[in-house]
Structure 1
Amino acid sequence: MAALRAAGETTRLRILALLADSELTVKDLTTILGQSQPRISRHLKLLADAGLVTRSTEGAWAFYRLADENDGPCPAAQVLAMLDRDDPAVARDRERRTATRRANAEAAASYFAANARVWDHLRTLHVPDTEVEAAICGLAGTSRIRTLLDVGTGTGRVLELLAGRADRAVGVDASAAMLAVARANLDAAGIANVRLAQDDIYTLSQPRDAFDLVVIHQVLHYLDDPARAVAEAGRMVSPGGALLIVDFAPHALEILRAEAQHRRLGIGRGEMEGWLQAANLDAVEVIDLPGRGNELTVTLWFARDRRMISDDLRINEGALA
């Protein structure tokens, strides 16, 4: 009853309708609904207290979304099922949300453009992204992914590739600016089953043993302690689940330390195998993709949680079920 009472007020019902399609900040909602920040914040608090919405922070920003089944029982879906989507106020809110998304996308594009020169140069040194992405999809297999976690999601590209086959997907990154880029890209792609959150790769706030597939794509070479990050990602993997890591093989391009803030010049097979073993994971497939002129080789490691591995596992299919 508390949830129904909370949803019964007109503004709060409009907020629920807006959050049904995407996460939004208080600033987004004040712009869309034309109400003050204190008023919107109070409505959100009442909805959160009633278990209808949840809140996540990214630096100074807070994002709100509808609570889902992983947050406990939530009647928001039943409330929204009775809402007239053609109601003039609701339709107008959708139009304003579209304009807000466009503004957010433009801000994200500006950040991306400011860093594009370095990233474009890096791309010329390794195999085309299309080949790496094809290898990622091949290792992930064709089975349905119940839960997907992308650690260090960056622009959200891995989520764009795999979220369509996932029942639930989460992307985390330490950078609020990169999360803004990912959010804009996912919105543009029409992907709605992804939750984005700011998180620490060394101490993830996600639930342990909860993800069928965890991906770390081109992140470890930025870190002071990649072994610790692999161990933390391993704790996220469900029994029998998989960890997919994409990074560079060892190389001698010192310029990447200065130009692209790389902390490590690639990761060797033996080194990675040791990290995976320490995380109770077994590497079942490793793929090297040499770049142009062999300047940078991209390596993909596909590892399984050993708690439910059977002798007849068909590792080449990368089955996740």
Structure 2
Amino acid sequence: MEPLLAQLRAAAEPTRLRLLALCARGAFCVSELCAILGQSQPRLSRHLRLLVEAGLLERLPEGANVYFQLPPMADLARQILARLPEEDPTIAADRRAAARIAAERARAASEAFRRDGADWDEMRALGLPAGAIEMALLALLPERLGRVADIGTGTGRLLEVMAPRAESVLGLDASREMLALARARLGERGIGNASVRLADMYRLPLPDAGFDAVTLQMVLHYAEDPTAALAEAARLLRPDGLLVVIDLAPHARQELLARSAHRWPGFDDAALAGWFGAAGCAPLPAVEIAGPLPVRLWPARRLAVPVAALPETTLNF
């Protein structure tokens, strides 16, 4: 009973209710929350600490910043927020201020990418049929999902695509600039069940078997060790969970290896099947999407018992 009472006490304060309502719509750092609510950092830091201690918010360090958002399983917080009137003038004003902060965040990240000459939207840069690829992905996914992770999420487009089918979607990326763009996208669209997190795809800061589906779109061709990357992705899946790799099939565009820093010139079905098997997954039929470069979606199911762990059998004739 005490944890429930602690959460109710933590939420029963106007500023903390406003913080919960904001963080239900996206992740914000302390300076952004100060700007939105017009309150001092020491005061807001105390409110945030109480909400984190009660389990109503989670704290995500990222470089010099710390972001706050609703945890995936914050059911009580969402039930409380559902009772807040949409037309409440304070909540509406906070949302307008949050939208302005999200737009400024996106503009700053985009300007940094243009200044540094980074080509962050690879699907567009290669002229790939993003719409057809997204439709093919949705056709592979169940109509209803629990938790979904997107490794190498980039600007967060796949999170936006998958969010309507999932309880929660989590984007993971090693680039802070990418995460800034993804946060801006999610905030502008009001996608409350999506979040992003800084992470290395070879060492994901997440527990085993916590997700129903994991995706990697246009990520594997950058990987020095695809076997290790897929093994780490598979580790996140519950038994019978779905792993989907979206990437280039074999191609002859050798300039991409130098110009775009691709480590691999596409993958064939045999390579993916072998890597899936080593990761404890059973490959399913691949789907090919026509375009200027061949793209395939390789799905696989996480085995309840890894192949290596199955007992040996002796056949008697």
TM-score calculated relative to the size of structure 1: 0.83
Report Cα offsets for 1:223-271 as digits up to 9, x if no partner.
2112101001111111111110011123343322332222222223222
**Equivalent residue number for residue 98 of structure 1:** 99
Report Cα offsets for 1:79-106 as digits up to 9, x if no partner.
4456555554444323322222222232
Q: Please, which moves more after superposition, 255-264 or 279-288?
A: 255-264
**Equivalent residue number for residue 284 of structure 1:** 284
**Equivalent residue number for residue 41 of structure 2:** 37
CA contact (8 A) 1:155 1:185 kept: yes
1:17-166 alignment, distance < 5 Å: 17-69=21-73, 75-77=76-78, 79-80=80-81, 83=84, 86-111=87-112, 113=114, 118=119, 123=124, 125=126, 127-140=128-141, 142-166=142-166
Report Cα offsets for 1:261-285 as digits up to 9, x if no partner.
2222222322221111101111111
CA contact (8 A) 1:125 1:291 kept: no
**Relative contact order (alpha carbons < 8 A, sep ≥ 6): 1 or 2 greater?**
1
Counterpart residue identity of residue 39, structure 2: Q
Counterpart residue identity of residue 137, structure 2: I
Name the SS of the counterpart of 2:285 in structure 1.
Answer: strand
Report Cα offsets for 1:180-209 as digits up to 9, x if no partner.
111222233332211211112111122311
Q: 1:268 to 1:85 in 2, by over 3 A?
A: closer
Residue number among 279, 296, 299 corresponding to 2:296 in the alignment: 299
**Equivalent residue number for residue 228 of structure 1:** 228
RMSD (Å), alpha carbons: 2.7
Q: 1:270 to 1:31 in 2, by over 3 A?
A: same
Counterpart residue identity of residue 41, structure 1: S
Measured after TM superposition, the shift of residue 7 of structure 1 is 3.1
Counterpart residue identity of residue 304, structure 2: R
**Equivalent residue number for residue 196 of structure 1:** 196
Measured after TM superposition, the shift of residue 28 of structure 1 is 0.9
Taking the aligned partners of 2:250 and 2:279, their CA distance within structure 1 comes to 22
CA contact (8 A) 2:174 2:200 kept: yes
Q: Which structure 2 residue ranges, 5 or more long, are not aligned?
A: 306-317
CA contact (8 A) 2:113 2:120 kept: no
Q: 1:83 to 1:119 in 2, by over 3 A?
A: closer
Name the SS of the counterpart of 1:285 in structure 2.
Answer: coil
Taking the aligned partners of 2:252 and 2:47, their CA distance within structure 1 comes to 55
Counterpart residue identity of residue 299, structure 2: F
Name the SS of the counterpart of 2:148 in structure 1.
Answer: strand
**Equivalent residue number for residue 313 of structure 1:** none
TM-score calculated relative to the size of structure 2: 0.84
Counterpart residue identity of residue 2, structure 1: A
Taking the aligned partners of 1:64 and 1:38, their CA distance within structure 2 comes to 15
Measured after TM superposition, the shift of residue 153 of structure 1 is 0.7
**Equivalent residue number for residue 2 of structure 1:** 6
Taking the aligned partners of 2:180 and 2:278, their CA distance within structure 1 comes to 34
